[in-house]
Structure 1
Amino acid sequence: MEACREILVSGIASLNLNVTDEKIDQLLSFIKLIEKWNKAYNLTAIRDREEMARLHILDSLAIVPHIEGKRVIDIGTGAGLPGIPLAICLPEIDFTLLDSNAKKTRFVQQVVLELKLKNVEVLHSRVENYHPEKTYDAVLTRAFAGLSDIVKLTAHLLSKDGVLLAMKGQNLDAELAEIAAKKSVISVSVPGTDVERCLVRIQLPEQAEVS
C-alpha cells in the first residue's frame, strides 16, 4: 500500500487539505476493504488499488472545500463514495449515506464499524421513500442521475437554505438548461488524473422544510 499512500499524500497536498496521518491510514484501510469485498460484491469496476486512490479517494476529497452545513446526505453512495472519504476528513459533519442496493449498504456499514466512524449513518432505501425527521443542509450525489431527476428526487430532503451538490463530468449544457433554479458550476481537478470533473451547486427557489 506504500504506492497508494504516496498517491494520497501527494494528492492531498495538491488539494491543499489538512489531513492527518491517522486519517490517511483510515483512507488506506477503506481501499483495502473495497479491494477485499469487491471480489464477492462487485462494488466498483475499478480493481487496481492505485486507481482507487486516485479515482475514488482523491476524486471524493476534491470537493471538500465546497461541502456546506453540518448535516449532509450522500444519495446513491454505492461503495461509500464520496461519503466515506469525506466523513473521514470532516469529522465535525454528520453524514448520512443512502443507497437502494442492500449489498452495498451492508459493505458501507461494515466500513463504518471497522473504521470506527462516529459521524456516519447508513441507510438502505430508495431516495423517494426516505422522509427524514430532520432535513439536510446539503444533498450530495456522484454519478447518480441527470440533474433534473436529481432535483425531483431529492428536493424533499433539503432544509430551507439547503444546497444540492452534484458531482459531474463536463459537457453539462443540456442538463443545466433543464434546471430552473439558481445554479453554479465549479471546476474540480483530481490530482494525478486527467479526468474532467465539475461540481454543480443548485439552490432551489422558495424551499420549505419538509417533514
Structure 2
Amino acid sequence: MHPFFQDLKQGSEKLGLSLSDDALNLLLKYQDALVLWNKAFNLTAIRDPKEMLVKHLLDSLSILKDLPQGRLLDVGTGGGMPGMIIALCQPERECVLLDSNGKKIRFLKQFIADLKLKNVIAVQTRVENEDTINELGQFDVITSRAFASLLDFIAAARPYMHDKSVIAAMKGLIPEDELTQVAEFKHQIIELSVPRLDEQRHLILLHR
C-alpha cells in the first residue's frame, strides 16, 4: 500500500467524497510522477510530497462534488491541477488540460500515455490562440486555479463558452470587487474546507 493511501482516503472522505481504491491509487501515481518530474523540470514550487498531498491533491479534490457535469477545460493547468485530478476521479468526463508551458504539458502527455488514459488530453498553447479556440470548441465547464484576477479568467474563458457553460474559478479570498464588475453572470460562492489546510478557499461558479 502507498504510504499516503490512508491520508488521501481520510482527506477525501472529509471532503464528502467516496472515491474508489482504484481512483485513490491513480491519484497517488500522479503525485509520485509529479514528484519525480519535479526534480528535473521544476513543475511546482511545492517539493514535499506531504505538502503536495494537501495543497495539490486535496485542494483540487475539494471542488469535485460541486462541479457541474459535462466536458471540461482546465485553463492554465500547470502540472495538472485541478484538471488531471478531476479526470482521474471522473473517467466518464472528457477533460482538456491547457497550458503554454512546454515542460508541464510534456509531463502531462507522458503521464496520460503511461496510464493509457482515454478521457483527458493535454494541449500546449496560449488560451487566446484563435486556432486553439476553433479546434477545441466549446465546453460545459471551464475551470482554473491559475488566475490571480477573476476578470482575466472570464476574458480567457469567454471564447470557449456556450449559453449554458459554467465558469468554475478556484479562489482563496472572495473577490468581492471583481464580482460586482461581472453583472452579466449570476454567481454562486461555495466555501471550501480543505483538510489540514489553514487557508481560505472558495469555489466561484459563474453562469449567464
* Residue of structure 1 equivalent to 2:67: 67
Distance 1:55 1:66 in 2: 18
* Residue of structure 2 equivalent to 1:135: 138
* Residue of structure 2 equivalent to 1:155: 158
Distance 2:105 2:169 in 1: 20
Distance 2:168 2:54 in 1: 21
Asked if 1:48 is matched to 2:48, the reply is yes
Output the TM-score relative to the length of structure 2.
Answer: 0.93
Q: Name which of 189, 195, 201 aligns with 1:191.
A: 195
* Residue of structure 2 equivalent to 1:177: 180
Asked if 1:26 is matched to 2:26, the reply is yes
**1:72-103 deviations in Å (ceiling 9; x for gaps):** 00000000000111111111110000001111
Q: Name which of 166, 171, 180 aligns with 1:168.
A: 171
* Residue of structure 2 equivalent to 1:78: 78
Q: Bigger shift: 169-178 or 99-108? A: 169-178
Is the Cα contact below 8 Å between 1:3 and 1:50 reproduced in 2? no
Look up the equivalent residue of 1:144 and give its one-letter code: F
CA RMSD, 1 decimal: 1.4
* Percent of residue pairs identical: 41
Aligned with 1:131: secondary structure? helix
The count of aligned residue pairs is 204
Shift of 1:175: 2.2
Look up the equivalent residue of 2:11 and give its one-letter code: G
Distance 1:148 1:127 in 2: 14
Structure 2 alignment gaps of length 5 or more: none
Distance 1:87 1:183 in 2: 25
Aligned with 1:148: secondary structure? helix
**1:27-55 deviations in Å (ceiling 9; x for gaps):** 11111111111111111111110111111
